[in-house]
A and B are shown apart, each in its own frame.
Chain A
Amino acid sequence: MNKIDQIMQQDHEHLDHLLQQSAHAVSIGAWQEAAHLFEIFRHGIVDGHMVVEESTLFPAFEHKEIGDEHPLTALLRKGHQDLRIFFEEMAEAIQDQDTETFGDLLSTVQTILRQHDAMEEKELYPYLWEALPDHGEAAAERILASEAETQS
């Protein structure tokens, strides 16, 4: 496993942990804490992880493969688009203190993330070291900076 591969995979684990912390706060009715933790998670995944993937990693992979949109990255981009909407809905469920809706959304989002992350870890990340001109150094730094910002 190369460095960028390892760092992206670790970031998945970091983000899963943040989501679990928020879900735990919901489960005990600590709504203010849940909102705070969920925002940390949302910021880390949307403004950190997804931005690095969409701006740097996906284009590098596409360029290496076919020089155009690839079915894998098309699917991953679509996953990001769907997740952004789900995150808004989850934030609203916390705001409304709606445990049932949050639980339903959490179940769906965790399923999406599990499948999405597995696809990235198996089919995308192992090829990034070769695809990126700097072997992913800059992207790795951005992810590590995002992780440092979102330590709960």
Chain B
Amino acid sequence: MSEYQGCELPEDLFYDLDYVWIRPENDSTFTIGVTDPAQTMSGRLQKARIKKVGTHLDSGRHVATLESGKWAGGVPLPFAGEVIARNETLLSDPHLINIDPYRDAWIARIKPDDPQHALDNVKTGPEAIEALEAWIKRYGVQCMRCSD
């Protein structure tokens, strides 16, 4: 696990180099969520809306919208696909994203239209970590772990 400015950056995930992480699953689906620096920048989240299961989204469209007292924004999908599961817990407890962004606070699982090319526009490994560190620096983010 890499860490920069207190922000956790798991090296085995894929990233859109902005808000989103992507984890390939064994069944050709992908789980997505928001990164530690992104959740930090958003502040304590108070509302999460996630697209319903069965919704088809084009690449770049928002699979979820998140709101805190000081911030609101979307979670864009880096590839076209269908929502096959969403994390219902986040609808009632969006703050979980601030506590455990990479594990319990996954946002949705997506079945891509074209699994072979789903990861064409995302990065992983050292290249991703370097770009995310630049992102953290650009926005002046300092991560702090939430425990409750």
Chain A residues within 8 Å of B, Cβ to Cβ: 69, 71, 74-75, 78, 82, 85-86, 88-89, 104-105, 107-109, 111-112, 115
Contacts and interface: CB of A to CB of B under 8 A. Distances in A.
A75 B74 CA distance: 14
B125 interface: no
Contacts of B70: 115
B65 interface: yes
18 contacts: A71-B139, A71-B140, A74-B138, A82-B73, A82-B74, A85-B61, A85-B74, A86-B62, A86-B74, A89-B61, A89-B62, A105-B65, A108-B49, A108-B67, A108-B74, A112-B72, A115-B71, A115-B72
Contacts, number: 38
B72 A71 contact: no
Contacts of A107: 67
B49 A104 contact: yes
Interface of B: 18, 49, 60-62, 65, 67, 70-74, 76, 138-140
B23 to A, nearest CB: 23
Greatest chain B CB density within 10 A among A82, A85, A88 is at A82
A88 B140 CA distance: 29
Contacts of B74: 82, 85-86, 108
Contacts of A112: 72-73
B72 A108 contact: yes
Contacts of A115: 70-72
Greatest chain A CB density within 10 A among B18, B49, B60, B65 is at B65
Contacts of A108: 49, 65, 67, 72-74
Contacts of A78: 18
Contact of A85 (B62, B71, B72, B138): B62
Contacts of A69: 138
